[in-house]
Amino acid sequence: MTRLSADIEARFHGLRRIIGNTPLLAVDYSFRGCRRRLFAKSENLNMTGSLKDRMALHILRRAYEKGAIQPGALIVEATSGNTGISFAAVGRALGHRVSIFMPDWMSREQVRLLRAFGAEIHPVSAGDGGSLGSIARAEELAASTPGAFLPRQFTNLDNCEAHEEQTGPEIHWQLGAHGLRPDAFVAGVGTGGTVMGVGRYLRAHHPDVTIHPLEPANSPMLSDSRRMGRHRIPGIAEEFIPPIVSLAELDDIVAVDDGDAILMAQKLARSVGLGVGISAGANFLGAVMLHDRLGDDGVVVTVFPDDNKKYLGTDLLHDEPVRPEHLTPYLTVHGFTSFNRACQVCDQSEDLVKMAGALSV
Ligand code: PMP
């Protein structure tokens, strides 16, 4: 393992304080007359406002430890949005230049945010291959730039490890502090890092827990790639099954209609002030479906991957037509409380031990 310089170590230390160890929200709701509580990690509270900060920080940390990236090197990534914003910000914080290839249909807010962090942006049209084309172009640029680092989020196991070492343990400890054990976990699949990593940790500690990937019902790539279509849940459902996803390790796939996800995200903001993104609406509905199977006392956990700010120019702010298959119209959100950040996974205790040591000298 390569030893990190004091400067880089200090930068990682600063970042660790503002990425990860998010509160766990306990959201009270009623569905078709049954009152229940489900749990969601508030990932919008990360540094740039999404769960991808965890992955960016962990991948870069591991890359430094492996000697795969040098200070000041160019970081090149293909991304559908949040990943680029995370690498742009975390990369800059560590002193890197960042170049992002992305499909040209991403939201204007997302592109502007990337620009705000000083990233170079390369839009790739559907005609040039969209997501897959972005990956190919990122590989080409990295190959022709000496020392460039490619995080390769779709194939890099450090992506899953970020969630196996952090998000999963946080959920375990936060529930445990309240005498609870998870029965089911569900998360929309973009790269699949979240569902695979959290799933591995929770299964190792709770053998009976079920782990469910979620996809848009109108683009069910995981269950039937022939029915891949357009959908409006940014951040999930790529045009391929990411190599780090192993469906054999997971339980059944949950499908949510994109219009229903929009209605649910709107409802969380309007009824209790939780301004979350569209994939959070989808994850909430996925959790509601699993709750239906498990019964009212089931402990179902999910994540709210990001907030609503990047989607203000999308259908999230439109009047979404209600269709007969939608669940949101039968659902009332009453309120939420939040379970504190988990001390077992933060370095507070480490600092306290050091402080106590210094005092006793
Ligand atoms: N929701 C949003 C908004 C995202 O940006 C992402 C990441 N692409 C996800 C969900 C899915 O996370 P993962 O890549 O870990 O599967």
d(CA 67, CA 197): 24
User: Nearest residue CA, atom 11 of ligand 1?
Assistant: 190
Considering the domain boundaries, does residue 352 fall inside one?
Answer: no
Considering the domain boundaries, does residue 351 fall inside one?
Answer: no
For residues 193 and 290, state if they share a domain. yes
Helix, strand, coil distribution of the chain in percent, nearest 5: 45, 20, 35
**Ligand 1 pocket, mutate which of 48, 80, 82, 215 (most atoms under 8 A from CB):** 82
**For residue 66, what pLDDT is reported?**
97
Tokens encoding 90: 């975390």
Q: How many domains does the chain have?
A: 2
Q: Is the CB of 52 under 6 A from ligand 1?
A: yes
User: Nearest residue CA, atom 4 of ligand 1?
Assistant: 235
For residues 60 and 189, state if they share a domain. no
**For residue 239, what pLDDT is reported?**
81
Distance 103 CA to ligand 1 centre (A): 16
Distance 235 CA to ligand 1 centre (A): 5
For residues 112 and 214, state if they share a domain. no
User: Nearest residue CA, atom 5 of ligand 1?
Assistant: 235
Q: Is the CB of 49 under 6 A from ligand 1?
A: no
Q: Are strands 34-42 and 300-304 parallel, antiparallel or unpaired?
A: parallel
**For residue 358, what pLDDT is reported?**
54
Active site residue: 52, 134, 267, 310, which one? 52
The answer to whether residue 279 is catalytic is yes
The number of CA neighbours under 13 Å toward the Cβ of 28 is 6
Considering the domain boundaries, does residue 160 fall inside one?
Answer: yes
For residues 202 and 224, state if they share a domain. yes
**For residue 361, what pLDDT is reported?**
38
The answer to whether residue 52 is catalytic is yes
3-state secondary structure of 127: helix
Q: Which DSSP string do the residues of 135-198 spell out, in sequence order?
A: HHHHHHHHHTSTT-B---TTT-HHHHHHIIIIIHHHHHHHHHTTT---SEEEEE-SSSHHHHHH
Residue with tokens 């190599």: 243
**CATH code assigned at 97:** 3.40.50.1100
d(CA 323, CA 14): 47
Tokens encoding 87: 């690498």
For residues 92 and 237, state if they share a domain. no
Distance 302 CA to ligand 1 centre (A): 12
Question: In which domain, by residue range, is 334 found?
Answer: 6-45+156-345
Distance 353 CA to ligand 1 centre (A): 36
Q: Is the CB of 259 under 6 A from ligand 1?
A: no
Among candidate residues 144, 173, 200, the one where a domain is terminated: 144
For residues 222 and 134, state if they share a domain. no
**For residue 357, what pLDDT is reported?**
55
Considering the domain boundaries, does residue 358 fall inside one?
Answer: no
Q: How many CB atoms lie within 10 A of CB 3?
A: 10
**Ligand 1 pocket, mutate which of 44, 46, 48, 50 (most atoms under 8 A from CB):** 50
Q: Is the CB of 306 under 6 A from ligand 1?
A: yes
Considering the domain boundaries, does residue 70 fall inside one?
Answer: yes
Burial class for 97, CB neighbours closer than 10 Å (0-12, 13-18, 19+): middle
For residues 161 and 307, state if they share a domain. yes
Considering the domain boundaries, does residue 30 fall inside one?
Answer: yes
* Tens-digit pLDDT string for the chain (361 aa): 889 999 999 999 999 999 999 999 999 999 999 999 999 999 999 999 999 999 999 999 999 999 999 999 999 998 868 999 999 999 999 999 999 999 888 778 888 999 999 999 999 998 999 888 999 999 999 999 999 999 999 999 999 999 999 999 999 999 999 999 999 999 999 999 999 999 999 999 999 999 999 999 999 999 988 888 889 999 999 888 999 999 999 999 999 999 999 999 999 999 999 999 999 999 999 999 999 999 999 999 999 999 999 999 899 999 999 999 999 999 999 999 999 887 766 655 555 555 555 554 3
Distance 102 CA to ligand 1 centre (A): 15
User: Nearest residue CA, atom 2 of ligand 1?
Assistant: 235
For residues 198 and 339, state if they share a domain. yes
Among candidate residues 112, 144, 176, the one where a domain is terminated: 144
Q: Is the CB of 286 under 6 A from ligand 1?
A: no
For residues 340 and 199, state if they share a domain. yes
Q: What is the distance of C-alpha 61 from the center of its chain?
A: 18
Distance 42 CA to ligand 1 centre (A): 13
Sequence-ordered list of residues with C-beta below 8 angstroms from that of 101, at least 6 positions apart, any chain: 76, 77, 78, 79, 122, 124, 134, 135, 137, 138, 141
For residues 59 and 168, state if they share a domain. no
Among candidate residues 91, 119, 144, the one where a domain is terminated: 144
Considering the domain boundaries, does residue 112 fall inside one?
Answer: yes
Can you give the pTM of this predicted structure? 0.94
For residues 314 and 187, state if they share a domain. yes
230 and 293 in contact (C-beta within 8 Å)?
no
For residues 102 and 233, state if they share a domain. no
Considering the domain boundaries, does residue 320 fall inside one?
Answer: yes
